[in-house]
Chain A
């Protein structure tokens, strides 16, 4: 069970859009629509932002959206704001009833 692959860092200016990729295998991302995304500010617990590939929990801005193609899922944040600066993690359900996280991506808002 290997971690999902995410870019270590991405950056963007306020108002711009960024996309974070999350690449897995046919045993996790490619086989299940149970991909979720979490935002984590320093010293805080992760917060669910996207579930089931593209669904937003109540209270999450529609600036956050998710998608999936094959073994790769993506999180897009549009209209970047300063408060979006955080670490982002993807997660996927995997074979044998286990879960796997991505290595995390640090988003910097320039």
Chain B
């Protein structure tokens, strides 16, 4: 049973950097899957942020690409998200998920990040 757990600050100041990590349990992070970040603003729909492979290869949402960096730490079995120059529009619940075989088959519980001074 794969478990994913997001962690990071729940409050980020405008123009600052949002940093989150996702711990992977019950599966190897280098098991041939991509690892994904998805966000959901309050009361709104899901938005795909991007994904990373254990080798470090990445794919990003074109609308966020200039502000997003993802990384992976195989030794700690976790992957991370950094989003720079945040504004109130980046306030959302951030989910990490496993994108295995072209579907998001396992999700973390999500973590709310609020951008506010």
Which bracket fits the contact residues of B?
Answer: 20 to 34
Q: Report yes or no: B45 in contact with A101, Cβ–Cβ below 8 A.
A: yes
Return B98 CB to nearest CB of chain A, in Å. 10
Q: Encode contact with A along B99-117: 1 for CB under 8 Å, 0 otherwise.
A: 1011111011110000000
Q: Report yes or no: A36 in contact with B103, Cβ–Cβ below 8 A.
A: yes
Q: Which B residues between 79 and 108 are near A, CB-CB below 8 angstroms?
A: 95, 99, 101-105, 107-108
Q: Report yes or no: B59 in contact with A89, Cβ–Cβ below 8 A.
A: no
Q: Report yes or no: B62 in contact with A98, Cβ–Cβ below 8 A.
A: yes
Q: Report yes or no: B45 in contact with A102, Cβ–Cβ below 8 A.
A: yes
Expressed in whole angstroms, the Cα–Cα distance for A104 and B45 within the complex equals 6
Count, chain A residues at interface, CB 8 A: 24
| Contact A91:B61 (CB < 8 A) given known A3-B45, A100-B48 | no
| Contact A101:B103 (CB < 8 A) given known A45-B108, A46-B95 | no
Most A CB within 10 A of own CB, among B45, B60, B95, B99:
B45
Q: Which A residues between 1 and 44 are near B, CB-CB below 8 angstroms?
A: 1, 3, 34, 36, 38
Q: Report yes or no: A48 in contact with B103, Cβ–Cβ below 8 A.
A: yes
Q: Contact residues of B with A, CB < 8 Å?
A: 36, 38, 45-48, 51, 59-63, 95, 99, 101-105, 107-110
Can you offer 16 A-B residue contacts whose CB atoms are under 8 A? A1-B63, A36-B102, A47-B107, A51-B102, A51-B105, A57-B105, A89-B46, A91-B48, A96-B59, A96-B62, A97-B59, A98-B60, A99-B51, A99-B99, A101-B38, A104-B46
